[in-house]
Amino acid sequence: MSDKLATILQAARNHAEQVILPNVDAWNAAKKWPRQASDKAGAAGLTGLYAPEEFGGQGLPLSEGIQVYEQLGLGDGAYAFALSMHNICTFAGCGYGTDAFKEKWARDLTSGRKLANFALTEPQSGSDPMNMYSRATINGDGTWSIRGAKAWVSLATEADIYFTVVKTSDAPGHNDMAMIAIPADAPGLSFGPLYDTPSYNFLPLAEMYMDEVVVDEANIILPIGRGLQGSLMAIDIARVSIASGCCGLMQAALDTALSYSKNRKMFGGKNLDLDGIQWMLGEVATDLEASKLLYQKAAESLGTPEGPLMAAHAKRFVPDAAVKAANTCTQVLGGMGLLQPYGLDRLSRLAQMLRIVDGTTEISRVVIGRALQQRSSTLPNLSVPKGYGETW
Ligand SMILES: Cc1cc2nc3c(=O)[nH]c(=O)nc-3n(C[C@H](O)[C@H](O)[C@H](O)COP(=O)(O)OP(=O)(O)OC[C@H]3O[C@@H](n4cnc5c(N)ncnc54)[C@H](O)[C@@H]3O)c2cc1C
């Protein structure tokens, strides 16, 4: 591991231990994004992970930067998720944005002074982004006008810019999709009421409405025809980032269970002396090790032809393992596991949320299923041996 990566991972761990964990319950009670905390994340170098150093970023490869979320996930999975989306948008803006966009936004984004998020989902289309209604049209002067509605926009009302995927015609398919960065103060941009999500209420989520929003062509991040492919690449990075964050969540659940169990007296010994408890926690430990290997392999494959499939494997397996881990660890504490100070109920709800966001477990299965069909086409046909039944 390079010195640079070790320093960033330590900074992320310190951020989880010193900034997130002591405050996350208060953030949830206040129902407000902790801007001072994300400012500190910026100062610690956690908001420009993949952006080039010339723009103030860390210049880490995806395979390394993604490990940051494992550390942040020790604190809170929703916070880790929001920073991962900011980092992906910053990566896109610094990599694919116009020179004018980079000049105006790059350093503010990499420093975390300004926050970004990604808006793809719409009220009628989550898993099926082709069913998108948001439309952008190019005006005579080169500006673009955008109308439509997005749903489940994270950092809604808090981000300074929204990387928004739109269609540019009524033609079916994705060939006309583009990604446009809409500044929060663009006239015509507004938000619905914040969703009520008790276990991560500090993360503002809402619908986003675009009523003839006009943006400069300098804000086109991915031009017509590259919007969906670029979004899918962003989502693959997000899927692996979520798997990384889930590993932190699993470690946090396991450590809580161990700290309690080694101290809880029963049957003349300690809870952790019981074989049954060791087996339960042993399964969590194995799932955690497998999850780490899987997300790291998926992170290394991003940008290669295997990237989408490996991201699907990681997103299918790891959040499920995290749900099981959080529930198992709750069970190990008995009734105490349900009480607020231990945080296990919050971890269970977060793990379930991470099964849904950025492509559900079922959508990952669809991606894996298609890859299996492709592989099957390269294999010989296996038919029933003579005398064992009808033809297939
Ligand atoms: C906390 C949170 C934050 C989010 N932040 C953002 C954000 O910042 N930006 C953004 O654009 N989006 C965001 N999302 C949206 C998220 O990506 C979608 O919720 C997700 O893609 C699923 O879409 P949906 O909720 O519309 O479910 P639907 O697409 O309506 O799916 C409903 C159910 O059908 C299942 N299903 C769908 N297709 C199939 C299939 N082919 N086979 C079997 N089952 C299927 C799904 O798995 C699911 O169980 C966020 C979501 C959450 C929960």
pLDDT tens column, 130-163: 899 999 999 999 899 999 999 999 999 999 999 9
Q: Is the pTM of this model over 0.85?
A: yes
Indicate if ligand 1 lies below 6 Å from the C-beta of 165: no
Three-state secondary-structure class, residue 349 = helix
Residue with CA nearest ligand 1 atom 31: 127
* Summary mean pLDDT of the chain: 96
Atom of ligand 1 nearest to the CA of 119: 11
Question: Which stretch of 49-53, 57-61, 194-198, 227-231 has the lowest confidence by average pLDDT?
Answer: 227-231
Interstrand relation of 177-183 and 189-191 (parallel, antiparallel or unpaired): unpaired
Work out the average pLDDT over 363-372: 98
Atom of ligand 1 nearest to the CA of 121: 11
**What's residue 198's pLDDT?**
82
Residue with CA nearest ligand 1 atom 36: 362
Residue 239's closest CA among 359, 332, 323, 341?
359
More confident residue, 35 or 390: 35
Indicate if ligand 1 lies below 6 Å from the C-beta of 121: yes
Residue with CA nearest ligand 1 atom 12: 121
Distance CA(298)–CA(308), nearest Å, equals: 9
pLDDT at 389 over 80: no
All domains of the chain, ordered by start, with CATH?
3-115 (1.10.540.10), 117-224 (2.40.110.10), 229-377 (1.20.140.10)
- Taking CA atoms, 354 is separated from 82, 263, 310, in Å, by 12, 31, 17
Tokens for 40? Answer: 């500190």
pLDDT digits (tens, 9 = 90+) for 39-80: 999 999 999 999 999 999 999 999 999 999 999 999 999 999
pLDDT digits (tens, 9 = 90+) for 267-300: 999 999 999 999 999 999 999 999 999 999 999 9
Number of H helices, E strands in the chain: 13, 10
For ligand 1, the distance from its centroid to the CA atom of residue 271, given in whole angstroms, is 39
Atom of ligand 1 nearest to the CA of 150: 11
Indicate if ligand 1 lies below 6 Å from the C-beta of 179: no
For ligand 1, the distance from its centroid to the CA atom of residue 363, given in whole angstroms, is 9
Residue 238's closest CA among 342, 123, 363, 134?
363
**What's residue 201's pLDDT?**
95
**What's residue 392's pLDDT?**
54
